[in-house]
A and B are shown apart, each in its own frame.
Chain A
Amino acid sequence: DAKTTQPPSMDCAEGRAANLPCNHSTISGNEYVYWYRQIHSQGPQYIIHGLKNNETNEMASLIITEDRKSSTLILPHATLRDTAVYYCIVRVRIQGAQKLVFGQGTRLTINP
């Protein structure tokens, strides 16, 4: 089972920063936090991942708390095309295979 907790839904105004929280209080020291998003009827799209340091790429920023028990995905200037379900995933290792197990995610709606 996924070991993350996310709010089921959020709204954000177009052009503003969207901040999506994720709790992962049982994360282990060598587990990464990954973020994916799924636009309706498409496969998930990789956004960003991190271990302990904050990360930034062309899509988003990832802020991980010092105790690593929670993180926040930041979309700095949200557009209507950012409307999607956002999944925060802790990468687990089971039986030697690293699976991505999806929780329910956060349905982010960007409003004009």
Chain B
Amino acid sequence: GAVVSQHPSRVICKSGTSVKIECRSLDFQATTMFWYRQFPKQSLMLMATSNEGSKATYEQGVEKDKFLINHASLTLSTLTVTSAHPEDSSFYICSARDILNTEAFFGQGTRLTVV
């Protein structure tokens, strides 16, 4: 299947700093990418839908100024957690869908710990 790569896989940052997570589709072009967050023992929660060249669409309750999403090319979307706080500590996962709009493929996830 298609490959979606996320970087970094783990990151620890101090409260108040910002962290950028990258999501790349390695062997296909992704017009749409999705960002999820997952807390321990819970399911994935969709945060936002990112479309190449346009603004992201955020789910209800997700602060767009705190979770900045950029989808500047067909193979790269980034999620920046701004002014991170310990409660932002979570597992962040991206997924990408190719132009033909078939099934979505997921990255390996990024575990963010804010201390």
Contacts and interface: CB of A to CB of B under 8 A. Distances in A.
Q: Does B associate with A?
A: yes
Contacts of B104: 46, 100
- Count class of interface residues, chain B: 20 to 34
A38 B107 CA distance: 11
A9 to B, nearest CB: 12
B95 A100 contact: yes
Interface string A25-59: 00000000010101001111110010000000000
Contact of B105 (A46, A95, A102, A103): A46
Contacts, number: 51
B109 A43 contact: yes
A17 interface: no
Given A102-B44, A105-B43, A44 B57 contact: no
Interface string B26-53: 0000001010100000011110010100
B111 interface: yes
A110 B108 CA distance: 23
Contact of B109 (A41, A49, A99): A41
Contacts of A36: 106
B32 A97 contact: yes
A104 B39 CA distance: 12
B1 interface: yes
A44 B91 contact: no
A31 to B, nearest CB: 14
Contact of B43 (A46, A95, A98, A103): A103
A101 interface: yes
A43 B4 CA distance: 10
Given A101-B46, A104-B43, 8 more contacts: A42-B109, A43-B6, A43-B108, A43-B109, A45-B106, A46-B104, A46-B106, A98-B97
27 contacts: A34-B103, A38-B44, A41-B109, A41-B111, A42-B109, A43-B6, A43-B93, A44-B93, A44-B95, A46-B1, A46-B105, A46-B106, A49-B103, A87-B43, A97-B32, A98-B97, A99-B34, A99-B46, A99-B49, A100-B46, A100-B104, A102-B36, A102-B43, A102-B46, A103-B43, A104-B43, A105-B43
